[in-house]
Chain A
Amino acid sequence: MIQTVLNLVVVLVTIGIVMVTVLLHVAYLTYFERKILGWMQDRMGPMEVGYHGLLQPIADGLKLFFKEDIIPAQANKIIFTLAPILVLIPALVGFAVVPFGRDSIHVFGLTFRPYVTDINIGILYILAFASIGAYGVLLGGWASNNKYSLLGGLRSAAQVISYELSLGLAIVGVLLMAGSLSLVKITEAQGGGVFHWFIIPQFAAFVVYLISAIAETNRLPFDLPEAESELVAGFFTEYSGMRFAFFFLAEYANMILVSCIATILFLGGWHAPFEALSFIPPIIWFVGKVYVFLFFYIWIRGTLPRLRYDQLMMFGWKIMIPLALANIVVTSAVLYFIRG
């Protein structure tokens, strides 16, 4: 009995730690984005709130929290309030299966593992929840009863469905090589230095994943659902205050999540690239690799213009999906001949 309660406490504490860490990273990711974009564009970025603007994310959060919560008179109130939740929850739930490090911590005879849970269908679980997020966007756009929102929501539905296909297909190659859907197992399969990472044999899949992940998170050059120069703010045009913040949090949480998955699937998760560097704790390696991807996303945003809706679909269906399929065929064939 006591053991059960203790186990429950351990799980709850782990969940708490993961959630707080993720949300803090989400908040500060906005700060890093603004700073990095600022430096790329010959300006300073946030400087006013705190030392070099370090308290800016907190100020932004507080501001949004205290803003008036407006629901348009013509909106469908239930779905309008439900949509931000439908977007945010799946983005956060995905972190439950991400292994952040190698070593469990032992405190007072309790074992804290570096992940909330390790289920044997980890990657499938994340993909499934990511698809639910698309409903939030679609419903949010529809319930606002605004043409801009509706167009944004429709674009989003089309985009997420198309790119989830190539995203899922890109992953299959890795799954074939690792022989498991569990993120912990996939990480362990890449032990032993940089040459064992899946990025080398699965480079095509890596590229497809990276591009699809940008589309999946609605970032430039695929930010059509919220293309501000065309659709004002797309599906969240009518949202304000905390609900608006939910959409924003979800976008950045999704960015971190897809970066985490990319790290696990292709860059060996928490593994050090060389034996000689393994004195640096695994969790540092993990976070470092994730931030490489995050920097890459911000860098892309600073560089590229936005694609048009039909070009985006064409790119997804005519280039990304065939490439991912070809990768699966080649990987299966090679694995068949090697393993017999």
Chain B
Amino acid sequence: MEAHTRQEKENDPNRVYLNDPEPRPVTEDLPLRRSEDLLLNMGPQHPATHGVLRVVLELEGEKIIKATPDLGYLHRGVEKLCEGLTYQQIIPHTDRLDYICSMSNNFAYVRAVEKLLGVSIPERGEYVRTIIAEMQRIVGHLFWLGTQALDIGAMTVFFWTFREREALLDLFEEICGARLTMNYFRIGGVNGDLTPNVIFKLRKFLKEFPSKIEEYDRLLVNNRIWLSRTKDIAVISAEDAVSFGLTGPVLRGSGVNYDIRKAEPYAAYGKVDWDVPLGTNGDTYDRYWVRMQEMKQSARIISQCLEKLPEGPILTDVPQVVAPPKEKVMQDMQSLIHHFIIFTEGFRPPKGEVYCATEAPKGELGFSIISDGSPKPYRLKIRAPSFVHLGAFDHMARGYMIADIVTIFGTYDLVMGECDR
């Protein structure tokens, strides 16, 4: 079992290569003893690959020599689809990218379109967006915590985090009528206002939430098995993390202070007081710690936003882009025509190219749009954090054991919907 280094293995004359670069002559006597790597195909149907990810593992015993992720099993051609849709019609498609945090995708997309149009959002709209985005971040991180713990074998955490996630999903249902694919953000604002009832329930949730985080911590943070499974596993240095283009909690776990919410504040992030938690070692435990702290910070942001929530409209007043309110459409001829035009023809943004990055729970979610002046984007490119993170997969998995593969899946917080698009 005592493993050779990779270098030694490569120099081994008896080694049989899986894809032999230079086939050896057949006349050569085959050695009696030969070593061969065990090739293990993990996924696309596997209980721990978080969707339909396939990884081809080259193993030596239980040790990983090489891990090659194979993507595309959930490819739906979202980017191409978007070229045939008007700008508003794309919003529900973004729901289905990272389906755990659909509103974060909505947010990232509408921000890109607003940047293209040069539209600004009323203040209340910005605050509501911030509140919703942070709620979504908590939901995403709860989901991540549950699945990561479940992968490592701690099943109770999963049910406990889903209990809190459920409370937030109920709130989402009250805000916009859906629980998973919310389609709540609109170009120029949001679809519905927060009712007093929602604010009351949200305050109640925020009051209880810190004690719930304590509860998860009690199960995990002092647990020696948990520590030995996460500390010094899948370590990535700050330089490597930056060169691989990692973002979000995965990058901050390595100690790089980069959070788009702080670097170029959007929505109401510049108006509230919060911190960016940073790890030091860049291992799985630090990423776990960063996400746990981020949940606390999100709760902090939401409660400050609720305090400061100004009165006013939630949709901007730009008639070329925003449809009139429904009550007017029912009574007023001009509004009806206006509504009809917006939803059949769409609007025509200026010609140009725009890239807009948003801090989604999983990392930097960017939308790059090229507009040719027509109501449909000429080209739309999504920079999905899960996809970029998988690039570093082999680098982070080499030398660890099979059991760590599931930890690494978990620590990226992968969602294949976003990765394959």
Binding site for B on A (CB under 8 A): 37, 40-43, 147-148, 151, 155, 220-221, 223-224, 227-232, 301-311
Minimum distance in angstroms from B157 CB to a CB of chain A = 9
Q: Decide: A232 and B403 in contact? CB cutoff 8 A.
A: no
Is B154 part of the binding interface, using a Cβ–Cβ cutoff of 8 Å?
A: yes
- A147: chain B residues at CB < 8 Å are 38, 40-41
* A220: chain B residues within 8 A (beta carbon): 153
CB neighbours (8 Å) of B151 from chain A are 229
B123 within 8 A of A: no
A-B contacts, 8 of them at CB < 8 A, read A37-B155, A41-B159, A224-B403, A229-B47, A229-B406, A305-B223, A309-B62, A309-B403
Question: Contact: A303 with B156, CB < 8 Å?
Answer: yes
Instruction: Give chain B's interface residue range (CB within 8 Å of chain A).
Output: 20 to 34
B117 within 8 A of A: no
19 extra A-B contacts, CB within 8 A, seeds A223-B153, A306-B225: A37-B156, A41-B159, A42-B159, A42-B160, A147-B40, A155-B62, A221-B153, A229-B47, A229-B48, A229-B406, A301-B155, A303-B219, A305-B149, A305-B152, A305-B154, A306-B403, A309-B401, A309-B403, A310-B62
With CB as the reference atom, state the residue of chain B lying closest to A308: B403
Chain B residues closer than 8 Å to A148, beta-carbon distance: 40
A229, A302, A305 interface centre (most CB from chain B within 10 Å): A305
Check if B306 is an interface residue, CB within 8 A of chain A: no
For the residues of B in contact with A, the DSSP-based class is: helix
State A223–B40 Cα separation when bound (angstroms): 20
Question: Knowing A41-B159, A151-B62, A229-B47 touch, does A308 contact B150 (C-beta < 8 A)?
Answer: no
CA distance A147 to B160 in the complex (A): 34
Contact A304 B154 (CB under 8 A): yes
Contact of A302 among B155, B223, B228, B403 (CB under 8 A): B155
B156 and A41 contact, CB distance less than 8 A: yes
Interchain CB contact under 8 A, A302 and B40: no
B225 surroundings in chain A (CB, below 8 A): 221, 304-307, 311
Q: Chain B: which residue is nearest A148 at the CB level? A: B40
The 5 A-B pairs of least Cβ separation, nearest first, read: A306-B153, A41-B159, A229-B48, A305-B154, A305-B152
- The answer to whether A227 and B149 touch across the interface, beta carbons within 8 angstroms, is no
Interface flags, B399-410, vs A, CB<8A=1, else 0 = 001111110000
Which one, A41, A230, A301, contacts B160 given CB within 8 A?
Answer: A41
Bound state CA distance, A304 and B219, in angstroms? 8
Interface of A is mostly: helix
B163 within 8 A of A: yes
| Complex contacts, A37 vs chain B, CB 8 Å | 155-156
B49 (CB) vs chain A CBs: closest residue:
A229
Contact present for B153 and A40 (CB under 8 Å): no
Known: A151-B62, A303-B219, A308-B401. A228 touches B226 (CB 8 A): no
Give Cα A303–Cα B228 distance, bound, in whole angstroms: 16
Contact B228 A311 (CB under 8 A): yes
Question: Contact: A306 with B152, CB < 8 Å?
Answer: yes
Return the chain A residue nearest B230 by Cβ: A305
Chain B residues with Cβ under 8 A from A308's Cβ? 228-229, 401, 403-404
B159's nearest neighbour on chain A, judged by CB, is A41
Q: Which residue of B lies closest to A306 (CB)?
A: B153
Residues of chain A lying within 8 A (CB to CB) of residue B159: 41-43
Contact of A40 among B47, B62, B156, B163 (CB under 8 A): B156
Query: Which chain B residue lies CB-closest to A307?
Result: B225
> Which A residues touch B152, using CB under 8 A?
229, 305-306
Q: When A227-B403, A230-B402 are in contact, do A41 and B228 touch as well, CB less than 8 Å?
A: no
Q: A232 and B156: CB pair below 8 A?
A: no
Known: A151-B402, A229-B48, A230-B405. A305 touches B163 (CB 8 A): no
Query: Across the interface, do A304 and B402 meet the contact criterion of CB distance under 8 Å?
Result: no
Encoded as 1 (CB less than 8 Å from any A CB) or 0, chain B from 20 to 42 comes to: 00000000000000000010110
